Structure 1
Amino acid sequence: MPSSTSPHPDQRGVEPHPDKPRNANGVVDYTPYPDSSLQISTSRRGIQQKIINLYCGKASEENMQVYAEKAIYDDPFSYCDTRYKIAGQWYGLPKLFSRLESLATEVTSSTEHELVWKQRHRYTFAGIHVSKTVDSLVSLRLEGEVPNEKVVYHKEMWNEKDYSHEGIGALMKKLNGDKLTSVTKPPESA
């Protein structure tokens, strides 16, 4: 990995904090309703599609270019602070899962610097062929001018929880983010 890569200078300042989507009864609801999806620009659709491609196990240098070099990726299992470390996560998915499927999405917000959607995704574990379907909220913080916006913070929340960045859980997430590239070996140009 290039030694000049360093974390985003304002990691916590760029973290998205979207409103949790709620249903008609006011209950937090991560179930995507595609018919309710907001219309977004062609460039934003391109960003979303590249991220969905990654969730579907299609890690490529082209899809990885959606991220800024000093981007952050934050989900229940990993915290990565460079595009190269993020690539380690995406290039690792096909090693764990025999099938990755995007079942539904619903864009809930598209503002000047954020793109947020709910998604339903099915993960089928390699070898044992057991599937797990997860509803989550994907929040992207974007910087740059259209059509050259880049993701500087990618946050995914499962089970209506916003995960803490403290304690043993945060340490495990950071360790996973820092070390997975040595196992998955993404191209350094990713």
Structure 2
Amino acid sequence: MAAGADVPAGASQPFDRHRDGFVLAEGAAVLVLERPEHAAARGAVPYAYLSGYGAAADAGHATRPDPEGRGAESALRAAPADAGLGPDDVDHVNAHGTSTPLNDAVESATIRRVLGESHPAVTSVKGVTGHCLGASGAIEAAVAVLSPHHQLVPPTANLTEIDAGMEVDVVADKARPLPMSTVVSHSFGFGGQNAVVTPTGA
């Protein structure tokens, strides 16, 4: 976990060169999934469509990510493909972005390897929320759904100096307006559980 900072709210620093661990947190989110015809029948307006999903396991260590990001890469390749899309179609990545030296390095390398040609805008909400463990996936999926709805990428809080090894387009300082239709949201859990969802604009 993060050693802390002069200001505790700044202790979670995803993708920053000074990051030193995650900040344990609590939170929750609920997303309602239903078929389009059922939503239409009750007059509901969808925020996005869940168009694709990918999952993989690389259980080499209880907490440390696979150094090559093999499970994360497999899930990231599978989610857009499940939606009938290619890597070049991905506009934005809602990253797992834990603020740990290992995870952020492996995740950014995986994004670069799989989605490098599309240069997606990347963000991590854990700079604001901390790491809510099992709830993180739902919270981040909710943010990922709202991004194409508002055509806006939220900034990564506490990112003041991106690690030189990241080489991905991490949004910082302020929200970035971005025309987008396809987002991927990463959840890379303890024990090597990797999941990626692909929300597309409604």
Higher relative contact order (CA 8 A, sep 6+): 2
State the TM-score, normalizing by the size of structure 2. 0.27
State the TM-score, normalizing by the size of structure 1. 0.28
Greater strand share, 1 or 2?
1
